[in-house]
């Protein structure tokens, strides 16, 4: 695993960089947020600018519970909800409250590289659990449980970053049962749960909190706007109490009080729901454009399963391919992607790469994927050549 991998934000002028896992400007609903803010300010009292209740403003939690009941298709209750500043902050807080330095956490192999960095900030040891088409492998989990007692298992169950896969419902239930048996927590990062473009994904972990060992992290970053920094934790009352007792929450009040008022308006006036529907249409078009471009330019050298939601395609190459040096060469051809190795907790997956279709429209997607193919054609033998040179 590399030391620190930062995430790419705005690409250089003229560059089409598919390592960016963020919405493009045209999908950020500035008018919707402006209207919601105006409605809020027209009625707001000065008290709304105070710290706010630690778990979240009751009016926001009620709206959020309604939103999740509809979105997850199962009754969500206010008492199980806690406001966060998004899933990154939520994950950091979970690492503070439910683990201590030196503890082990299990992650999927592959998994989200920025989560690795959060765990490392807390001095946590990371153990990767391989995945198959149905999600994390239970055999591998059982094997690792013989030599480790994890504080928690971090999973991205729907439209996983980077693989795009969904863990099946039976596999999710098996994982919760294993967590009960071996006394660890399941920390589910459900940031893509509501970004489905065809069928609904399997049931959210947020609906499985009754056994008291599931923490579901949700976020408005991918369905509204990352800059608002609003998310939530859905968990049992007992685990929520532990979050409420944290020094950070006690000192700072609600973690995202002001922005949560704006999000509340968008839920209550129905604009968020309409926005998510339009995002689904836009992302589905982009996904299909990327699949078409990949079929044209990569079908002879890579394999992939088109995702049905989320942001990402995950391409697998022949074992001899190393995408890390290629990633470093990509800016020369004004393009970019994430190499597979950053998603590995064991410095593996060098023959994979991740591309996001969220940040670009169709034309750029076609052009950018053709540029990546040129990167492979032009620099693809470099590793091989370097090995030959070293042997001379
Ligand atoms: C799996 C995963 N978790 C968390 C995040 C970040 O979430 P947030 O913006 O809510 O902090 C991302 C964004 O790329 C992600 O892909």
Ligand 1 centroid vs 387 CA: distance in angstroms?
38
Q: Separation of 88 CA from ligand 1 center, angstroms?
A: 6
Nearest CA to ligand 1 atom 13: 21
Tens digit of pLDDT at every position of the chain (392 positions): 555 555 556 777 899 999 999 999 999 999 999 999 999 999 999 989 999 999 999 999 999 999 999 999 999 999 999 999 999 999 999 999 999 999 999 999 999 999 999 999 999 999 999 999 999 999 999 999 999 999 999 999 999 999 999 999 999 999 999 999 999 999 999 999 999 999 999 999 999 999 999 999 999 999 999 999 999 999 999 999 999 999 988 889 999 999 999 999 999 999 999 999 999 999 999 999 999 999 999 999 999 999 999 999 999 999 999 999 999 999 999 999 999 999 999 999 999 999 999 999 999 999 999 999 999 999 986 555 544 444 44
For ligand 1, the distance from its centroid to the CA atom of residue 370, given in whole angstroms, is 28
224 pocket-lining for ligand 1 (C-beta < 6 Å): no
Backbone phi and psi for residue 380, each to the nearest 5 degrees, phi listed first: -60, -25
Instruction: Judge if 16-21+273-383 and 43-269 fold alike in CATH terms.
Output: no
The residue whose CB lies within 8 Å of the most ligand 1 atoms, and thus the one to mutate among 19, 154, 189, is 189
**Ligand 1 pocket, 226 CB below 6 A?**
yes
Measured in angstroms, how far is the CA atom of residue 42 from the centroid of ligand 1? 32
CB of 86 closer than 6 A to ligand 1? Answer: yes
The residue to mutate among 7, 87, 194, having the most atoms of ligand 1 within 8 angstroms of its beta carbon, is 87
Ligand 1 atom with minimal separation from the 226 CA:
9
Query: In this structure, which topology does domain 43-269 adopt according to CATH?
Result: 3.40.640
Our answer on whether the CB atom of 109 is closer than 6 Å to any ligand 1 atom is no
User: CATH for 16-21+273-383?
Assistant: 3.90.1150.10
Q: Is ligand 1 within 6 A of the CB of residue 71?
A: no
Q: What are the extents of the domains in the chain? A: 16-21+273-383, 43-269
Binding site membership of 112 for ligand 1 (Cβ less than 6 Å): yes
């Amino acid at each position: 695993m590399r030391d620190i991998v930062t995430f790419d934000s705005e690409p250089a002028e003229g560059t089409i960089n598919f390592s960016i896992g963020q919405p493009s400007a045209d999908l950020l609903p500035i008018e919707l947020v402006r209207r919601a803010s105006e409605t809020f300010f027209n009625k707001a009292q000065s008290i709304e600018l105070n710290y706010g209740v630690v778990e979240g403003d009751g009016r926001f939690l009620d709206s959020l519970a309604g939103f999740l009941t509809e979105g997850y298709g199962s009754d969500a209750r206010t008492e199980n909800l806690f406001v966060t500043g998004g899933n990154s902050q939520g994950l950091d807080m979970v690492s503070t409250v439910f683990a201590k330095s030196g503890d082990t956490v299990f992650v999927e192999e592959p998994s989200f590289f920025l989560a690795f960095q959060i765990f490392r900030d807390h001095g946590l040891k990371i153990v990767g659990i391989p995945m198959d088409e149905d999600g994390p492998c239970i055999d591998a989990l059982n094997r690792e449980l013989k030599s480790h007692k994890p504080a928690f298992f971090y999973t991205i169950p729907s439209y996983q970053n980077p693989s795009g896969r969904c863990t099946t419902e039976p596999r999710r239930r098996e994982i919760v049962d294993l967590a009960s048996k071996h006394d660890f927590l399941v920390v589910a990062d459900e940031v893509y749960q509501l970004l489905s473009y065809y069928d609904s994904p399997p049931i959210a972990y947020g609906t499985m909190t009754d056994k008291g060992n599931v923490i579901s992290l949700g976020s408005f970053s991918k369905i509204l706007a990352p800059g608002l920094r609003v998310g939530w934790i859905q968990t049992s009352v007992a685990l929520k109490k532990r979050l409420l007792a944290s020094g950070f929450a006690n000192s700072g009040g609600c973690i995202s009080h002001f922005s949560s008022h704006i999000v509340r308006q968008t839920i209550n006036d129905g604009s968020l729901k309409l926005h998510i529907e339009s995002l689904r249409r836009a992302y589905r078009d982009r996904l299909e454009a990327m699949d078409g471009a990949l079929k044209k330019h990569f079908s002879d050298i890579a394999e992939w399963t088109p995702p049905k939601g989320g942001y990402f395609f995950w391409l697998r190459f022949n074992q001899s391919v190393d995408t890390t040096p290629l990633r470093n060469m990509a800016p020369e051809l004004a393009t970019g992607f994430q190499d597979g190795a950053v998603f590995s907790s064991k410095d593996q997956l060098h023959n994979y790469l991740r591309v996001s279709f969220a940040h670009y429209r169709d034309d750029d997607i076609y052009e950018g994927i053709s540029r990546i193919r040129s990167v492979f054609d032009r620099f693809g033998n470099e590793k091989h050549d370097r090995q030959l040179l070293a042997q001379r």
